[in-house]
Amino acid sequence: MKRWAVLAVFLLAQAAFGQRHKLGTVNAETPEGALLQQIGQEADAGKKVALMEEFAAKFPKHEGAGWVLLQLQGAYSKANQFDKTLEVGDKLLALDPDDVETAHQNLKAAEGKKDLDLIVKWSGATAQIAPKVAAEPQPKDEDEVDYWKHRVDFAKQVVAYTEYSLFNAALTTQDGRKKVQLLETLQQRNPKNAYAAQIPGLVFTTYRQLGDNDKAVATAEQILTADQSNEDMLLVVAFNYLQKNQQLDKVLTYSTKLVEVMTSKPKPEGIADADWTARKNQLIGLGHYMIGSVYMNQSKFAPADETLRRALPLVDTNADMKAETLFNLALANFKLGESTKNTQRILDAIKFNEQCAALKSRFQAKAAQNLKVIRAQYRVTK
């Protein structure tokens, strides 16, 4: 009778943990069985954990070791003892590499520690195990079908959870480099993950916050090949190439698209009318400014004049950009006046140079000098 005493004590707990690690028959007359009996009879949670730790240390090869470790991991997890949860989880996975429940517990422990490297590790490990478990065939033994259904359903849910875990960690971390790593890891593991549509934009924004312009531009360009609806990406790529005086065809393409997007884009919810109008005008102005700058670079003075006139009232709040726009308008009109013998163009060149020379900027002295030259050449007085 004594031989079976412990078995009844554990039946309820065994059912709760399914069939992952069965306890089997326990002989209470052996040291191992006697300790298992103590564990089963101990009502104090702390003392029970101490007894299980003792068993795991003394009898790691016993057939009941897996069951004890399973109870221990549950206790450690409940107590937020994350390091011990992970330590026991490693031992359980050594016994059963396809133990998706244990891998999931380790992932939860990594989240509890807020250890991003461990989250990457255990979300990956769990994501590898879960699909295999989800694909397991239905057992022929009817007594095992219910547990199989539970295990398969759980595995399917865990696949989605591993992706959520990475994405949530990325959203909550303040470390920009880690954020990008987590997002890119998720994208690499499953390009069709539930957050795929949000990831490129988050990576782009993070690179901008980090001041890594080259990677921000590269990310934006990749997105713009398929979707040109994001005004910030259009602006960053166009302005990048304009500053470098490279790929001016892209500057024209993206700047034109920027103007088109902002002209037709409705006001987002939660933004005040005045704030939206200011942003809209600013970006449209920047678009016209960049287009006009390219035309000036190409000595296409007529389209440059037309576009920069559109930009001028919209870049009024940016002193340096306003000065540059005035300077280029003066130059474009002077060139057009000379080539067409159009007096009005010359007068416009004088007007724009006067306005530019009145502003403190890097163009002020040059505009004042050009003004003297034009007046002298055309005998124009104030």
* pLDDT tens column, 320-345: 999 999 999 999 999 999 999 999 99
Q: How far is CA 8 from CA 14, 33, 71, in A?
A: 10, 13, 16
> Distance between CA atoms of 374 and 357, rounded to whole angstroms?
14
State mean pLDDT over 135-163: 89
Residue 20 has pLDDT above 90, yes or no: no
Residue 12 has pLDDT above 60, yes or no: no
CB 223 within 8 A of CB 204: yes
Specify the DSSP class assigned to residue 272.
Answer: -
Of all residues in the chain, the percent with pLDDT exceeding 90 is 81
pLDDT of residue 27: 79
Residue 19 has pLDDT above 60, yes or no: no
Nearest to 208 by CA among 228, 224, 232: 232
Q: How far is CA 221 from CA 58, 115, 155, in A?
A: 60, 32, 37
Phi and psi at 213, nearest 5°, equal -65, -40
3-state helix, strand, coil in the chain (%, to 5): 75, 0, 25
CB 106 within 8 A of CB 127: no
| 365, containing H or E segment | helix 364-378
Residue 24 has pLDDT above 70, yes or no: no
> Distance between CA atoms of 379 and 372, rounded to whole angstroms?
10
Nearest to 184 by CA among 337, 195, 174: 195
Nearest to 197 by CA among 173, 165, 167: 167
The DSSP annotation for 12-80 comes to HHHHHTTTSS------TTSHHHHHHHHHHH---HHHHHHHHHHHHHH-TTSTTHHHHHHHHHHHHHHTT
> Distance between CA atoms of 136 and 130, rounded to whole angstroms?
10
**Exposure letters 327-360 (e unless 16+ CB within 10 A, then b):** bbbbbbbbbbbbeeeeeebbebbbebbebbbeee
Span 205-263, pLDDT tens digits? 999 999 999 999 999 999 999 999 999 999 999 999 999 999 999 999 999 999 999 99
In whole angstroms, how large is the CA radius of gyration of the chain? 35
Residue 22 has pLDDT above 90, yes or no: no
State mean pLDDT over 92-120: 95
The DSSP annotation for 182-247 comes to HHHHHHHH-TT-TTTTTHHHHHHHHHHHHT-HHHHHHHHHHHHTT----HHHHHHHHHHHHHHT--
Residue 379 has pLDDT above 60, yes or no: yes
pLDDT category at 380 given cuts 50, 70, 90 is low
Residue 29 has pLDDT above 60, yes or no: yes
Residue 11 has pLDDT above 70, yes or no: no
Q: Which of 1-15, 47-61, 189-203, 268-282 has the least mean pLDDT?
A: 1-15
Q: What pTM was computed for the model?
A: 0.78
3-state secondary structure at position 317: coil
Span 291-307, pLDDT tens digits? 999 999 999 999 999 99
CB 370 within 8 A of CB 353: yes
Q: How far is CA 375 from CA 30, 326, 329, 349, 350, in A?
A: 112, 17, 17, 10, 8
Is the Cα torsion angle 301, 259, 325, 252 positive or negative in sign? Answer: negative
State mean pLDDT over 116-144: 92
pLDDT of residue 365: 97
Look up residue 148 and give its amino acid: W
pLDDT of residue 18: 43
Specify the DSSP class assigned to residue 324.
Answer: H
pLDDT of residue 382: 53
Other beta carbons within 10 Å of 199: 19
Look up residue 135 and give its amino acid: A
Nearest to 314 by CA among 271, 279, 285, 350: 285
- The encoded tokens of residue 90 equal 């490693």
**Exposure letters 78-95 (e unless 16+ CB within 10 A, then b):** eeebbebbbbbbebbbee
Higher local confidence (pLDDT), 232 or 1: 232
